[in-house]
Chain A
């Protein structure tokens, strides 16, 4: 055995209320959703929790719902369920494209969308698509719920807006009608690889000009980032390759260190 995980306590919860109660009372606990990032972090000693709170049986957080103008995705929805959802494919295609390139089938079968966001890796591949879609996150605690735009959720490498007694409950994804969406991942190989950089873009065009532009990248800063300077410079401009190439250099303003 290459890796030895230190002794830990293990608690199962099967209801959201129960999970929030447990998180409220425990001090040094970590939540296990799918566990694919968490178990690796335990193995390499990046985290040393006293207790694992297994929320994988909280079935009320596993859903993809169509609300017309937006989708609601439960935080415990697996990555593979997102890839295979015709609803997400129709209404948020950039998310499906990104998630389909995450890890491998074996990982996507257990890893969850909420886990990928809460782990807050600078290389989290579900973040750029959700940032261009301007998704909103519902964070729940014993005290109630609050809504945070995903653009304000990441605070640093593996740091988020989540308090220790809070749980990510739901991701709300606006349906961007009439938008073009794309995602490109650059890794060291084509399949099953960590992002060197990934880019998600969402644009709207009217009368040959960009009416809306959103660009998000991961792995180029302590958190996934939006490239606001490039976006603003492109808005209102004519859609042509020259404009895009010129403006693309402004993406550098959003990455750090440069």
Chain B
């Protein structure tokens, strides 16, 4: 079946099977490799995308579900410049080690800071509970989010 949706601001039309998940459509059919295949069972957060602006696991979304909706990945944030303060904050603090979880984190954090520009540490922890990182132990990631929040307010 054909599915029409907006991917990173551009309309796309893809031929999908109803038993395909969005993660596979993005990676295998549309070449979006920033969306990572992790646990495939809604636990790790590496496949996070923004669906109509809200972070969601693409491994749990059947392809036809996105018909008529908007999907965004970090490519979109990169193009419109919104990624810069986030990436800088993650780099400055050293919140990236292997980097596999990073695209998912950046999308979650982007949506979170848009909603809550001046979060408390507890609010930050709550927001990222659905993204796992096996390298950093989260401390640096939390610090990076605090720094990003400051950068975005001053920037």
Contact = CB atoms under 8 A, between A and B. Distances in A.
A12 B67 contact: yes
B48 interface: yes
Contacts of A192: 43, 129-130
A10 B1 contact: yes
Given A8-B19, A109-B54, A35 B61 contact: yes
A39 B1 contact: no
B55 A105 contact: yes
B62 A52 contact: yes
Interface in A27-63: 32, 35-36, 39-40, 42-43, 52, 54, 56
Interface in A1-24: 1-10, 12
B61 A107 contact: no
B130 A9 contact: no
B153 interface: no
A109 B56 contact: yes
Interface in B107-122: 108, 112
Contacts of B43: 192
Contacts of B40: 1-3, 43
Interface range, A side: 20 to 34
A130 to B, nearest CB: 23
Contacts of B103: none
Given A43-B40, A106-B108, A10 B62 contact: yes
Contact of B18 (A8, A56, A107, A191): A8
A39 B126 CA distance: 25
Contacts of B126: 105, 191
B17 interface: yes
Contact of A106 (B20, B64, B130): B130
Nearest to B40: A2
A54 B37 CA distance: 25
A8 B130 CA distance: 29
Interface in B61-92: 61-62, 64-65, 67
Contacts of B19: 4-8, 42
A105 B130 contact: yes
B133 interface: no
Interface string B92-113: 0000000000000000100010
A221 interface: no
A2 B24 CA distance: 12
Contact of A110 (B24, B61, B125): B61
A110 B40 CA distance: 16
A32 B64 CA distance: 11
Contacts of A152: none
A256 to B, nearest CB: 29
Interface string B3-21: 0000000000000011111
A105 B108 contact: yes
Nearest to B58: A106
Interface of A: 1-10, 12, 32, 35-36, 39-40, 42-43, 52, 54, 56, 80, 103-107, 109-110, 191-192
6 contacts: A4-B19, A5-B62, A43-B41, A104-B45, A104-B130, A110-B56
